[in-house]
């Protein structure tokens, strides 16, 4: 099925997917040579496939001849449940939290051993932080990450420990025992903090969002200046996360129904 070129062993779909995988938040724009190298495809194959993806709208060709992810792939990705369901339910509660704090309000889900940020709301005066929607955050150094780690189960903790607890600031938790102790507190109190553990000058507080079956679905939190009274935000963050949990339980969507 794969044709008789030198990538004959690769499946039909894998060559298309390898082109998508070449793009990242570090390299969102790629020339043909970079695209071929990153995808492991011969130049001619990469060129032909990229042309088909451009014609469909999955990629766009810029005026400088380089490629970027296209509008239609963005639209298609937005059909994922994490966007359609979780984000739609959470957004009004994030709005409430934003009004109460005027700071960065974020929601994230587990993706392997990391946190994938699903939505972020911030104002012009909110403190700049590391979170990008669609980007990943380390689990052990962020408030959302600690919430997810605390409730995701031991396999995620094992993965995170196996990857090593990278030190981002002098305040990052780097001892497994300290992390275990912290996660136990998060499980008890349903709240997690990051006090300059990811970025100096930045603090965060996050709370868990549960699904109708009681499993953790997401973590929701606020990122503020380290000089702010982050503990005073606990009630607001808990309230908003409870609101999303309640909404997820009370209004199960008929499959195929959109919420907005």
Cβ atoms 178, 167 nearer than 8 A: no
Between 229 and 260, CB nearer to a second copy? 260
CB of 91 to a second copy, least distance (A): 6
| Whole-number Å distance between alpha carbons of 231 and 227 | 11
**Residues 142/238, Cβ–Cβ less than 8 Å:** no
| Nearest distance, CB of residue 38 and a second copy, angstroms | 13
**CB closer to a second copy, 132 vs 232:** 132
Q: Which is nearer to a second copy, 27 or 232 (CB)?
A: 27
Chain center to CA of 239: 22
Residue (of 230, 239, 202, 192) closest to 94 by Cα position = 239
Q: Which residue has the tokens 């309000």?
A: 105
User: CA dihedral defined by 224, 80, 136, 188, rounded to 10 degrees?
Assistant: 60
Q: Among residues 131 and 173, whose Cβ is nearest to a second copy?
A: 131
User: Least distance to a second copy from the beta carbon of 218, Å?
Assistant: 12
CB 210 to a second copy: min, Å: 18
Query: Which of 144, 141, 179 has the alpha carbon at shortest distance from 158?
Result: 179
| Smallest distance, a second copy to C-beta of residue 244, A | 11
Rounded to the nearest whole angstrom, what is the least distance from the CB of residue 216 to a second copy in the complex?
15
CB-CB contact of 183 with 175 (8 Å): no
Residue 154: in which H helix or E strand, if any? helix 154-163
Contact status, residue 135 vs residue 149, Cβ threshold 8 Å: no
């Amino acid at each position: 099925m794969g044709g008789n070129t030198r990538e004959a062993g690769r499946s039909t779909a894998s060559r298309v997917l390898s082109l998508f995988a070449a793009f990242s938040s570090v390299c969102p724009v790629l020339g043909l040579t970079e695209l071929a190298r990153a995808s492991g495809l011969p130049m001619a194959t990469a060129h032909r496939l990229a042309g088909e993806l451009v014609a469909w709208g999955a990629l766009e060709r810029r005026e400088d001849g380089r490629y970027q992810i296209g509008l239609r792939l963005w639209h298609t990705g937005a059909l994922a449940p994490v966007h359609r369901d979780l984000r739609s339910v959470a957004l009004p509660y994030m709005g409430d939290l934003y009004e109460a704090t005027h700071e960065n309000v974020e929601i994230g889900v587990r993706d392997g051993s990391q946190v994938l940020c699903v939505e972020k709301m911030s104002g012009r005066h909110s403190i700049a932080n590391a979170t990008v929607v669609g980007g990943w955050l380390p689990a052990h150094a962020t408030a959302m990450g600690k919430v997810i780690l605390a409730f995701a189960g031991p396999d995620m903790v094992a993965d995170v420990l196996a990857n090593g607890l990278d030190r981002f600031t002098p305040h990052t938790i780097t001892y497994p025992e300290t992390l275990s102790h912290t996660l136990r507190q998060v499980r008890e109190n349903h709240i997690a903090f990051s006090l300059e553990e990811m970025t100096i000058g930045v603090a965060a507080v996050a709370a868990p969002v549960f699904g109708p079956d009681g499993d953790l679905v997401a973590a929701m939190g606020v990122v503020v200046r380290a000089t702010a009274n982050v503990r005073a935000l606990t009630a607001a963050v808990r309230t908003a996360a409870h609101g999303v949990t309640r909404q997820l339980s009370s209004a199960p969507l008929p499959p195929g129904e959109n919420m907005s």
